[in-house]
Homo-oligomer: A and B are copies of this chain.
Amino acid sequence: MIDPAPVKRTELSSLGEFGLIKHLTDTFVCEQPSTIKGIGDDAAVIDYGEKVTLVSTDLLVEGVHFDLSYMPLRHLGYKCAAVNFSDIVAMNGTPRQLFVGLSVSNRFPVEALDEIYAGIKLACERYHVDLAGGDTTSSVHGLFLSLTVTGEADKQDVVYRSTARENDLICVSGDLGSAYMGLLLLEREKKVYEANPDMQPELSGYDYILERQLKPEPRTDIIELLKKAGVKPTSMIDISDGLASEVLHLCEDSGLGCRIFEDKIPLDAMTIAAAEEFNIQPVTAAMNGGEDYELLFTIAMNDFEKVRAIEGISIIGHMTEPNAGTFLASNNGPLIKIEALGWNHMHDAH
């Protein structure tokens, strides 16, 4: 298991507020022409000219959204940034600037924050996003991260959740349920470790599902492929809470029903194997697990051929008139009503 506090320990108070911000952000370089002014004034200044500005914000709380006993701090930083970028991608836009609010108790040394920022930097560099501002403060307990990302899009390119139409095809990128299986694995190994600290965690051979949980990627490649193919989705959302919850968002916001086919839901072989090991249905991990950060979107029927030709996109169902309800057609026959499993962040960590 990973120790959240690396060996060297510089007290937060030794740097002072402005010293700490400078220390954490000094190695970030702004590369976007739209970033007129980044860190270092009352506000960042961003210029999208003829484009619209997309803004999304996320709050991540230790003990609620992440568990530092198995989430390395560098991965935490990467994941927080990547997840935020994914919200801009889900609007069919491109993330451009990131703002990071960080609140920590004195239990964390500067080196721990350095690890978080190293992860954020990796994500920023990979997706060409500028760190353009933020706020750093102390907390009485624990670690809080608040991220805001701004992105750009041509006005006519923005895709909302509310604009799916009847008979549109429902598509999903990548595969689903793997991030949740990675989480179950990490939680199991944590319990084993707590019961017997001499035990080595059994994580080898599970690389894919662990990476899906610890290092999700925003699917900027998918929106580029769709653009290249001349397809504009009719509605779109990213999968943070599980397929069930997200498809219900599209249905509710667009005033429609849906039919999803279980046998069309993309599952990785390792997800299926791990689900068997944990004695759960793989489709349950896909429907209710969450944190896959794949894109769920709808397309017009006459874009079917174009989308079918794109690797990494599965067509899993279609939108229906609202009275037809929201159903999953299961492999063994019966229709199962799709329901959201509520808000487990309010109740316990996941």
Query: What is A's interface to B at a CB cutoff of 8 Å?
Result: 12-13, 16-18, 20, 36-37, 40-50, 52-65, 86-88, 90-91, 93, 97, 99, 101-103, 132-142, 144, 146, 148-151, 153, 155, 158, 160-162, 236-238, 253, 342-343, 345-347
Contact = CB atoms under 8 A, between A and B. Distances in A.
A251 to B, nearest CB: 14
A24 to B, nearest CB: 13
Interchain residue pairs A-B with the least CB separation, the first 8 = A17-B343, A146-B146, A43-B56, A42-B90, A59-B101, A141-B141, A42-B87, A43-B54
B64 A137 contact: yes
B138 A346 contact: yes
Nearest to A102: B59
A198 to B, nearest CB: 29
B43 A55 contact: yes
Contacts of A140: 61-64, 141-142
A18 B65 CA distance: 17
A86 to B, nearest CB: 8
A155 B47 contact: yes
Contacts of A18: 343
Contact of A133 (B48, B57, B253, B345): B57
B144 A144 contact: yes
Contact of A146 (B42, B46, B57): B57
Contact of A52 (B36, B40, B135): B36
A145 B238 CA distance: 25
A160 B37 contact: yes
B12 A346 contact: yes
A236 to B, nearest CB: 8
Contacts of A88: 42-43
Contacts of A101: 57-59, 146
A298 to B, nearest CB: 14
A61 B345 contact: no
Nearest to A342: B16
B158 A45 contact: yes
Nearest to A252: B18
Contacts of A150: 53, 55, 150
Given A43-B56, A55-B97, A103-B144, 17 more contacts: A17-B346, A20-B343, A20-B346, A41-B91, A41-B160, A42-B86, A42-B236, A42-B238, A43-B54, A44-B56, A47-B155, A48-B48, A55-B133, A58-B135, A64-B138, A138-B346, A141-B141
A64 B139 contact: yes
Contacts of A62: 140
Contacts of A46: 52-55
B137 A345 contact: yes
B59 A144 contact: yes
Given A16-B346, A17-B345, A132-B55, A43 B93 contact: yes
A343 B16 contact: yes
Contacts of A13: 343, 346-347
A291 to B, nearest CB: 14
A12 B347 CA distance: 9
A161 B57 contact: no
